[in-house]
Structure 1
Amino acid sequence: MMLPKIELHLHLEGAAPPAFIRGLAREKSIDINGIFDERGRYRFDSFRQFLKVYEAATSALTTPDDYARLTRAVLEESAASGVAYCETFISPDFCGGGDLGAWQDYLHAIREAAAPFDPQGITLRGIATCIRHFGPDRARQAARCAMETAGDWLVGFGMGGDENTGQPKDYAYAFDMAREAGLRLTAHAGEWRGPDAVRDTIRDLRVDRIGHGVRAIEDLALVDELAERGTVLECCPGSNIALGLYPGWRRHPINELDRRGVRVTVSTDDPPFFDTTMAREYDRLAEAFDWDDGQLRRIARTALDAAFCDGETRARILKRLEPGHA
């Protein structure tokens, strides 16, 4: 029996299967063979190299139709893992180079591709993201695109990229723009920087959720604060382990954070890069921490409660989490 799952932290381009990107590059005579290893997987040995490989892979995605095809491929993979609802990060920088008209075309293509999956049991919503290492000016441009397309499908604004670039406050204007448009907010923090990065992000960007956030465990006062505030962490254990942040599943802090009352969720981040799926994340967590079905269902419910979708959508998805739907 496969438990239904809720995923809140999935980069659309980062979820592209290597074979899909290779095929697309071949169709367009784009030479990116250097990003794959001898087994055809993405090849990188550090976070900075991962970012370069990620952006090289994304270079094969050049049209709205490419993103429509990508969306179908990603949702097929997610559905196979039992995902009932997913929020995916998509960036105006990658989808149209920050041009509003082009961004609207890309969003339309992604939405159209996702629509047929809803009756089949998996609902997709979008979170527009700025790319931190592209700088604050580009972040404002991304926020402007997000503002103009906010609604029932594009439900949030966030920030990914290299956490070691700049400070959260540098991007506050972009986040203020998104907030004024009614978008919910999330940002990567506490992955490559320590607990202070989580504090600064919550204070300066006033986000609803934190992407990763696991290094909060290094400051138990912050852990208590997160628990008291009810701040949700979008934890991606397989990603953290693959990138060397932790040496193995039993050393990952998600269990301790949960034990101390922090609202944790489980996602895959960039699953083919890290050789993971949502089903595999659940299996590894059950093995590492003896999490049973009841615990995993509670994690999924926490994620649904923290989802940025409207109440009607949340109520509909909740029915998919009931035991009879597993």
Structure 2
Amino acid sequence: MTWQDFPKIELHLHHEGAAPPEFIRRLAQEKSVNLSGIFDDSGSYAFDDFPDFLRVYEAAASVLGSPDDYARLTAEILARLAGHGVIYAETFVSPDFCGGGDVSAWREYLHAMTEAAAQAEAAHGIVWRGVVTCVRHFGPYRSRAAARCAAETAGQGIVGFGMGGNETMGRQGDFAWAFDCAREAGLGLTTHAGEFCGADSVRQALDDLRVDRIGHGVRVVEDPALMDRLAASGVVLELCPGSNLALGLYPDMRAHPIDRLRRAGVRVTVNTDDPPFFHTTMTDEFAALELAFGWGEEDFADITSTALRAAFCDDVTRDTLKERLAAGHPALAARFSPDRMKTDVFNPDLLR
């Protein structure tokens, strides 16, 4: 079957990283900016490894210099997501790229994004919320400015705080001040860990930052005790299989640990990370997982249910999304039936 129309929720998507290369090239041409060296002959983003990916990512993001640029990008992203059945998306947005960490400038960028998102919701039915992120390789000091921006705009389309960037720079606990600031503002918390660093980086995230979700986290399979801890705690992994393959963590989808994690009772979601960079979509992710592991409608209903529960949105939004999911596919209707919901509160036995 095709998975394009299956209703989906995406929780791990970088706003700039979702910019199609043709959108960035067009914007660069409008501004007479030379971006030679970041595209290949076919017009796709070109990079060799993760550090080079970060270089290309930041070069592409450099042409996004105004609130209007971000409004246009938001409209583009949400229209594309809706075309793949996504009804709710949280994207990572960084004040470092949107006003340099200045709260007043950040408010202008955020206003532009929320207006574009409202128009996309009216046109396509997709709901957007933002997760403010600090950039790890920019250092702990700059993370504080990002956290202040998040705290000042909590509830204004912003529902969470997290950290992306180069995972090998510093330790999770170096950024504790920023996460404490965001926590006090009532925001959900997530951080990238266990991707290019080992399982201990996930342990640091749990112990030092006390996050609700982990971005990636695949390396926990190297530590069975930590995997058991995740399963018992309910902390959700925002998995991005296509990204992991594109960046060389695993040779193919069958080698990816998502199925092993799920069978161990770890709560997992499926996401695209930076889809134009990795030549993927949510439809592609579902299809690849079906091919690799034989997953079917009930499996993806489980994944979607986990994503709904793990979303940082308010309960009113969550209830509305639940109704739309139930109406969107028979497997989801069964998943969200009143009897099922009474007993299904992140029950790992339902994932085995």
Quickly name the TM-score band, shorter chain normalised.
over 0.9
What amino acid is aligned across from residue 220 of structure 1 in structure 2?
P
Structure 1 pair 156–324 and aligned structure 2 pair: CA distance change class (3 A): closer
SS at match of 1:69: helix
Kindly indicate whether the alpha-carbon contact (under 8 Å) linking 1:72 and 1:114 is maintained by their aligned counterparts in 2. yes
Partner in structure 1 of residue 63 of structure 2: 60
Partner of 1:199: 203
| 1:308 matches 2:308 | no
Post-superposition Cα deviations, 1:12-69, rounded to whole Å, max 9, x if no partner, equal 0000000000000000010012100000000001000000000000001000000000
Mapped pair 1:12 → 2:7:
no
Q: Secondary structure at the match of 1:265?
A: strand
Q: Are 2:104 and 1:104 equivalent residues in the alignment?
A: no
Equivalent in the alignment of 1:166: 170
Partner of 1:118: 121
For the 8 Å contact 1:319–1:325, the answer to whether it is kept is no
Give the deviation of 1:152 after TM superposition: 4.9
Secondary structure class of the residue paired with 2:125 = coil
Q: Tell which deviates more after alignment, 309-318 or 144-153.
A: 144-153
In the TM superposition, what is the alpha-carbon distance from 1:298 to its structure 2 partner? Answer: 1.0
Cα distance per residue 1:273-311 (max 9 Å; x no partner)? 000000100000011000001110110110010000000
Contact 2:217/2:237, CA 8 A, preserved across alignment = yes
Report Cα offsets for 1:136-178 as digits up to 9, x if no partner: 0000011011111111520000000000000011000110011
- 1:176-191 counterparts in 2 under 5 A? 176-191=180-195
State the 4+ residue runs in structure 1 displaced beyond 3 angstroms: 323-326
Q: Does 1:242 align with 2:246?
A: yes
Would you say the 8 A contact 1:175–1:205 is kept in 2? yes
| CA-based RMSD | 1.0
1:55-94 deviation per Cα after TM superposition (whole angstroms, max 9, x unaligned): 0000010000000000011011101110010000000000
Cα 1:324–1:210, aligned 2, differ >3 Å: closer, same or farther? closer
1:265 corresponding residue in structure 2:
269
Counterpart residue number, 1:280: 284
The equivalent of 2:136 in structure 1 is 132
SS of 1:54's partner is helix
In structure 1, runs of 5+ residues without a counterpart are: none
* Cα distance change of structure 1 residues 109 and 155 upon mapping to structure 2, 3 Å threshold: same
Paired positions, count:
326
Q: Is the 8 A contact 1:265 1:300 kept in 2?
A: yes
Q: Which structure would you say has the larger RCO, counting Cα contacts within 8 Å and 6 or more residues apart?
A: 1
Quick one: distance in 2 between partners of 1:324 and 1:162? 38
**2:15 and 2:93 in contact (8 A); partners too:** yes
Counterpart in 1 of 2:179?
175
Distance in 2 between residues matched to 1:226 and 1:5, nearest whole Å: 24
Asked whether 1:212 is paired with 2:216, we answer yes
CA distance in 2, matches of 1:259, 1:143: 35
Per the normalisation by structure 2, the TM-score is 0.91
Residues 209 and 233 of structure 1 are in contact (CA less than 8 Å); yes or no, is this contact kept in structure 2? yes
Query: d(CA) in 2 for partners of 1:268 and 1:118?
Result: 20
